Structure 1
Amino acid sequence: MTPTTDAAHAMRHAMVASQLRTNSVNDARILEAMSTEPRERFLPEQHREIAYRDTLLPLNGGRRHNSPLVIGRLLTEAHVASGEKVLVIGAAGGYSAAILADVAGSVTALESDPELAALAREALAGKAGVTLVEGPLNQGWAADAPYDLIVIDGAVEEVPEGVMAQLKDGGRVATGIVDRGVTRLATGRKSGSHFSLVPFADIECAVLPGFEKAKTFQF
């Protein structure tokens, strides 16, 4: 079921007040966008009634949709600037791309699952500043590179070199990482050929497939 307009409005503002403001989501632009964008519209219909719960939600192919807190923390720590060019990897239904479009203005949203891409295409229809593209998540989207910021909307074991090559020098990444079975949120900045991620919060985060580290041989 989809909540009524009034119910969704109340739940959205409760989410901002109780989940985000109390947990270091303090960028006024991110808070404004998340209090405005109807999160339920970016979710499969069977989950729209619980769109504002502080939990991960199941999606196609074993994927999961991140909680509002994960998205709020990632985008806050990304320090998004107006006019920046952003790539979202793992767009799912398009929610994080919509938030970024409200703040940055130019967003490429990459999704690999056809059904999720169809959902995002419908949800983002008429949304200025967002281009939805389909392809393997672990390859990024070189056609629109270079980017000021890459947001990986999920946790990965590593960021592929091919994705890093799509960043401008000085560009940033905001992502979840998988570290010995624990998911953390992290950010990093590219400087020449150097890049490293610095974790800033241990939070349950949806794991994206296709970003596994190559297994090393052990005796």
Structure 2
Amino acid sequence: MMATTEYSAARLNMVEGQIRPNKVTDQRVVDAFLAVPRDQFVPEGLRGVAYVDKSIPVTRSRYLLEPMVLARLLNDAKVESTDIVLDVGTGTGYSAAVIGRLAATVVALESDSELAAFANQAMQTQGVDNAAVMHGPLNAGWAKQAPYNVIIVQGAVAAVPPALLDQLAEGGRLLAVILPESGQGTARLYLKTGGQVSSRILFDASAALLPGFEAKADFQF
């Protein structure tokens, strides 16, 4: 098992080697990644690989986003200290803890009850007091606390469901990795202006598909 100082050094290396060189220019985002110990948000057996530059499997079908991808999404989300953020598919709660360093309030949505319990415990242990874990289907969002200034999806989706876009506030931003059935995944920013949603591609990105966000099969005769 690594010592605390080794984890701290690995976290610094993650920031300096993966995040800063990849167009992450918002110092608040950089500081958030420096502050949150990713090793405390993965199962104990995975702590030694907590800071590698790849997605980490936390269940058979769920992964933590690669640090660089999450950092770039947050960099482009331009989260303000007064924002309310919906973190869709928070998993172990790491993303919610990082976002909590940037926003006023984080609603961390998780469909897997065991992951939700893990996230709750991890955030309590780390003193994250402005994020709450909600248990429910990811593709439905969490309408009770809507609208949100920012919605971040912690995994790839075939398409963003209308339910999530409906929960954006005016001027709200939704960020997700869109993964078509064939082709390269891309990170996209969705912006609600005047009640209408527009989108643009931010960068190429790979991420594991979130369960419940698969492409819907076309009905054929």
Structure 1 length-normalised TM: 0.94
Equivalent pair of 2:177/2:206 in contact (CA under 8 Å): no
Which structure 2 segments of 5+ residues have no match?
A: none
C-alpha distance in structure 2 between counterparts of 1:88 and 1:44, whole Å: 20
How far apart are residue 190 of structure 1 and its match? 1.3
Q: Which residue is 2:216 aligned to? A: 214
How far apart are residue 105 of structure 1 and its match? 2.0
Counterparts of residues 45-194 of structure 1 (less than 5 Å): 45-125=44-124, 126-179=127-180, 180-194=182-196
C-alpha distance in structure 2 between counterparts of 1:162 and 1:133, whole Å: 16
How far apart are residue 193 of structure 1 and its match? 4.3
C-alpha distance in structure 2 between counterparts of 1:56 and 1:197, whole Å: 25
**What is the one-letter code of the residue matched to 2:203?**
A
Structure 1 window deviating more from structure 2 (103-112 vs 208-217): it is 208-217
Equivalent pair of 1:154/1:207 in contact (CA under 8 Å): yes
Question: SS of the residue aligned with 1:73?
Answer: helix
C-alpha distance in structure 1 between counterparts of 2:111 and 2:59, whole Å: 11
Equivalent pair of 1:155/1:178 in contact (CA under 8 Å): yes
| Structure 1 residue ranges, 4+ long, deviating more than 3 angstroms after superposition | none
C-alpha distance in structure 1 between counterparts of 2:86 and 2:75, whole Å: 16
How far apart are residue 218 of structure 1 and its match? 5.0
C-alpha distance in structure 1 between counterparts of 2:10 and 2:161, whole Å: 37
C-alpha distance in structure 2 between counterparts of 1:9 and 1:86, whole Å: 27
Q: Which residue is 1:8 aligned to? A: 7
**What is the one-letter code of the residue matched to 2:35?**
T
State the Cα RMSD in Å: 1.4
Structure 1 window deviating more from structure 2 (201-210 vs 80-89): it is 201-210
Structure 2 length-normalised TM: 0.94
Q: How many pairs were matched up?
A: 218
How far apart are residue 47 of structure 1 and its match? 1.0
**What is the one-letter code of the residue matched to 1:216?**
D
